[in-house]
Chain A
């Protein structure tokens, strides 16, 4: 029986549970035995000119090895000339927007690295960093995307504007003029912290001209590419090792300026260095997510048909342009969601502000698209007085229209949107919930019930042509080793890849080792982001397994003196046989031993023709205390269809985590600044990270609509939970108080915000 689709518990767990993982700060290797600690001196002000740096007092402290600033970076070539225009890639913008490694003469956000202090131990580093005297001459600050686009204060005067990338929304009003009903709304998709439990961490060592960098990253090979470019080294002079990684969520794609600076400092000083950021550093200096201001306009007929939709996005980039215009680009690409809307207009501007740079965070542009269209659907439904689930059903792209080309240029592969909705509503008991809501409304219960629906589609493996690599080696002891270019940080790659190999080769999982994240062993690879691992990395493993099998068949045929066509592999036993002759049997060890090198190797890459588009529906049930504004999640029901499921244990885990991060944004989390650009949420005592009592257990329903774009039939599942859950919960909160006249509440729906919305709606209805 095939192992595919069965509930296999993880091979990773016993080590993590009994000995703990080996994260960067846990690495104990001879090269790092004498490693010094590196501590950053970071800007305490949001925008200022640096007029002087005096390290003399710090240098006189015990244990201080060095204090380095940008003036010491004379061994680095200046950045290549660039127009500063966005080329469509997720690379940082250059030219006037270029971000230095350490501040040159200006700081642009609280937390920006200004200098590094090298000490023998960690406590000395914290002491000495405080003693580096930096003179700041404050500059006026730009906060919020709306202020940024006004261009009254410029972060980069040489650029002449704060708007780094503009892809203006078309403003054709004719389709809206033809509608019975048009609704408009400003929506804030607030800035949130990515918050992997392990912050960023780096160690670096230079030995015999080769630089080894241990990094908490989502992709070793991309990290090496970035480091080589920044340090002016050939890629083969650098080895990047990605050990266990304590969560990434998009914020650890590649490496950022902090890690490059550490690698540079280790090379400069010829001394191994270690750094693991504190949470207070993490909450100001790791990239953050979302941060969009959206204006939406939706129009349609009174019978529930949506005819036109417009979204105008202002993306807050933070102080520096880390990943081009990728986030608002994806928001615009996915703007129409699951709906067949005749006219869609989407555009964006991306502007810099004196805040922490924005980057990818679980969903990266797609949750923002879904939040906007799903809020728009509910606003439209409320306006025409129709059940929001019914409005969705009337506008879905029909299942017979796939592959479906959207008005914004996406090619959806497969989808059964109405089925997902119906299933989610059935599991939730939607009609009974509406009945309970009516009862509470009629009785004037202070605790009102809200039911929120969100139907979503998202794009996974958005860069399918980049592909992924896999190498499988079966040796003459019968075991297999898988080298993957994909990169695990909690998803369960090691279990999943071993399942794929066992299924194809019949080698038992406990005889299969999976290796990731070492550029000496795996020079080519792309890594993990955009929910790409299984469909690209898993398909590559599958492809490599097939190639190994072909080679093995050739050897087995020779050994058995049979035609290749007559030699078969029994995957239940892992034995090669001549068809119909059970007495002939060769083990993998025997077959591998027959090859000249004593092992069978396949080294492949898998490229997918197009991205895939998972979909589903989430139903959120909340209780809102109308006297205090407190929201309590009662239930969360989801149908998430990401094609064929390899291992339900792993996909459910991805869905659970995704739902929780969506709930976190909908109800709790927001990165805040005061009027001077000082972060107000720079510790976990201040940032409202979601915790266990905030959440219910989740109710997951199964749905599998395979894609034909890869041999496994799979799509990505890493981000779907977040994309679906966020607007479902937000819609549920608004729904709970919609009978009081409330139409919209921005996220996070904190008690204060909900109470204020209720109070204002009551005031308006009394006037």
Chain B
């Protein structure tokens, strides 16, 4: 079927299988490989992207469902070579190690801070329940989210 998505501000039209997942559309059709697949049960959040500004797990959305909508991936977050405050906070707070969960984690936090610009630590931790990281113990990811919320205030 024909789908028409706006990804990071750029329109992409393609003929895809009906069952193609959004994450595979992003990776294989749009060639945006930052968004990763970490599980097959919507549990890990590595594939988190923004769909019309709200976070979704792109392994659980069909490309067809996203047709006509706007998708933002981590590649579309920085502007003019300047990292988004959440990206910058991840860098400064050492919020990433292997980097595999990072794109999804960053997008989840962008969404979380949009909904709650000044969360406390508990709210950050609860908000990230659906995003798994095996490297950082979440400690510096939480620090990064809190630091980014300071910047945006």
Contacts and interface: CB of A to CB of B under 8 A. Distances in A.
A17 B134 contact: no
Nearest to A648: B94
A544 interface: no
B71 interface: no
Interface string B70-97: 0000110110000100010011101011
B90 A684 contact: no
B31 interface: yes
Given A247-B98, A279-B38, A684-B43, A10 B24 contact: no
A662 B46 CA distance: 22
Interface residues of B, number: 59
A200 to B, nearest CB: 13
A695 B137 contact: yes
A247 B136 CA distance: 11
B111 to A, nearest CB: 15
B128 interface: yes
A489 B96 CA distance: 11
Nearest to A249: B134
Interface stretch (A21-29, A112-120, A292-300, A672-680): A21-29
Contact of A13 (B35, B46, B90, B131): B90
A473 interface: no
A56 interface: no
Interface string B6-50: 000000000001011000100100010111111111111010000
Interface string A672-702: 0000000000011100010111010110000
Contacts of B39: 278-279, 683-684
A22 B103 CA distance: 12
Interface residues of A, number: 57
B83 A693 contact: no
Nearest to A491: B97
A22 B31 CA distance: 12
B135 A247 contact: yes
Contacts of A279: 38-41, 43-44
Contact of B135 (A21, A490, A693): A490
A154 B6 CA distance: 59
A475 B20 CA distance: 48
Q: Label chain A's interface by main secondary structure.
A: loop
A695 B125 CA distance: 8
A531 interface: no
A197 B132 contact: yes
Nearest to B33: A26
B99 A12 contact: yes
Contact of A196 (B34, B126, B134): B134
A340 interface: no
A684 B132 contact: yes
Contacts of B31: 28
B41 A685 contact: yes
Contacts of A25: 27, 33, 37
A498 interface: no
Contact of A17 (B35, B97, B102, B130): B102
B138 A490 contact: no
A249 B121 CA distance: 28
Contacts of A17: 74, 83, 87, 90-91, 96, 99, 102, 106
A16 B134 contact: no
B129 interface: yes
A708 B4 CA distance: 63
B139 interface: yes
Interface stretch (A91-99, A512-520, A621-629, A653-661): A653-661
B129 A692 contact: yes
A23 B34 CA distance: 9
A9 B129 CA distance: 26
Interface string A241-278: 00011110100000000000000000000000000101
Nearest to B41: A685
Contacts of B46: 197
Contacts of A12: 99
Interface of A: 9-10, 12-14, 16-23, 25-26, 28, 122-123, 195-199, 244-247, 249, 276, 278-280, 489-492, 649-650, 652-653, 656-661, 683-685, 689, 691-693, 695, 697-698, 721
Given A123-B20, A653-B97, A692-B138, 18 more contacts: A9-B92, A10-B94, A16-B99, A17-B90, A18-B87, A20-B35, A122-B24, A195-B134, A197-B38, A197-B133, A197-B134, A279-B38, A280-B40, A658-B137, A683-B41, A684-B41, A692-B128, A697-B142
8 contacts: A9-B94, A18-B87, A122-B24, A490-B98, A689-B43, A692-B124, A692-B138, A693-B128
List 3 A-B pairs, minimum CB-CB distance, nearest first: A20-B34, A246-B100, A660-B137
